[in-house]
Structure 1
Amino acid sequence: MWKVGLLVIAVLHSLQICESIDHCLEGNHLILPNTGKRGTLCKRTADVSICDRYIDIGRDKWYKVLGHDDTVPRKMAEGSAKMFHCGTDYPIYLPNGSHPTTSGTVVTRNACMLAGSNICKEQYPVQIMHCGTFFLYNLSRPNSCDIAYCFGDNMECSKPDPCEEANRLILHVSGDRSTRCRDKSLRHCDSKLQQNWYRPMMGSADVKMATSCVERDSCGTESPIWLNGLEPSLAEKTVDMKACVNFGRTSMCSCDEEIDIQVRNCSSYLVYNLNATSKCPQRYCFGNSGNCDVAATAKEYPVWQIVLILLAAIAVLAVILCVFTYILIKKIFRSPSKVQSINSTKENDVCTNVQMVLKPKY
């Protein structure tokens, strides 16, 4: 009996711990996936339909709904949605006035699934927690796929998430792009950089843009570009920021020109929405380790080196041309004695052939 009593005490203790958890705090709740496609004005695509059949459920599975480009968390849609919207075939929504109005309260509501003309063909119980400035949701699993919850009244589809591999490019960072590369002969430029989201990587390691002023003639260029401010520290957040260009007009490191960029926190790494530079030589700085490597410095040469290389190439071609011309002339203008000998031999061969033809056979 005492073992049963201990088991009951342990279960009650674990339940008390669960109840004492503040789910409103960061780290104590989950982020609902596919948030950017759950707006009531977002039509589902032909090839992708959100399915909430397999979401995690349970008493401690509370969801915050925050898209990568949302400034504040979303609320579950109230009022009837439309078929083939919210990124799915059959949207689930709440009746009007379902959200609690008092901070710290938790209510249970029945959410409705729209199916054709039936505005509430199926009902799913949903718990809603008021966290002051946002809401958390404890959801139920739909009965099948192509059914999903709507979040965001009158919200369009979000732009593609740059944290997904298909929606970004890799910026391959070599040692000459780091802040430790100081070489006045290097004049790399990002004027041809394609406007896009980039995940900067040095080999297999993620690197970040410099967040303090970088001196002139660094990062493999004359005018380095650095991030003016700290990157976002919270996951699932995109911020508009300014990148600074240091022209080195004075002895003090300064921000002589600003470039608009975006930075997104992808939990374990950062991605940057970069624009091409309007002038040269200007270049974004990434990483603080590595030096001006040989492969990078070999991409550009001073003018005098280029002239020497061209002259050497021309000289080699001239020698080859002379040798070829000499051989060709030698074959064309052969000595008369050899020509006469060859002609005599040919005449003897002809006479011999004629004699053999005219010789009678017995």
Structure 2
Amino acid sequence: MGDGNLEVGWYRFNSSGGRKIPEIVVRGHRCSGQNPGWLNGSHPSVGEQEVTRSVCFSSGENTCSWSLEIKVKNCTGYFVYWLKPTPADHTVYCTAADSALADPCVTHTVLDQPWRSTDCNHTECTGGQWMGDEYLEVGWYRFNSSRGQKIPETAVQGHCSSGKKPGWLNATDSALGDPCVTHTVLDQPWRSTNCSNAEHTDGQWKGDEYLEVGWYRFNSSGGWKIPETVVPQGHCSGETPGWLNGLHPSLGEGEVTRTVCFTEVEDSCSWD
């Protein structure tokens, strides 16, 4: 479809498909046209009278291949638009429902693919295929699958989440920022200082070189905290065990910074 033959004049959108031009980018081949149009600005409030705005028309990855200036007026309950014929074949003015632009908690797209999990390394969850979001449309999304419901707040190593370059949230908010509430539990009993020479792991040495950056809690029969005394080489099921070179904080101290030493030679701090 296209609006190239539209006559200049005032128009009002009023259908089940929407009552106003969307204020967010619309990718190509939407709204039944090759080059859909979206409002590059906001709609006026009731008191603003008529305003001038630009409509962008998307083509492929270019979200504003052409643009037209139009007028918009708030008629208290609906909007009217002073429109012109669109600039090329199959270019069309899009519409969106009011709710789609007002409350993203109500109107959004659900991403429920379990392969997005950080547990999916080297495409093992997608039959050998790398995944990517380069063609995802701009808009509001919600994650909801058996493998996770939010973007992680800690660094994600490459080749996780079924993609070569996984994304993670470099920020926290008040609801998720308390490490006493949000953390990962490490419950492997082989971490105990009593586990020498990999005897509890079928002869396999263990290591944490692929552990993601973040908050962790130890909770197993093997122990609940990092020891404050030197751990000899070959214990905790690792060739180079780590121990806390300092004291744990008291209840009123809050967060403190400490050094973890790793023993390569008996009774020494080879790395920290």
Q: What range describes the TM-score normalised by the shorter chain of this pair?
A: 0.3 to 0.5
Structure 2 length normalisation: TM-score? 0.34
Computing the radius of gyration from Cα coordinates, the structure with the larger value is 1
Structure 1 length normalisation: TM-score? 0.26
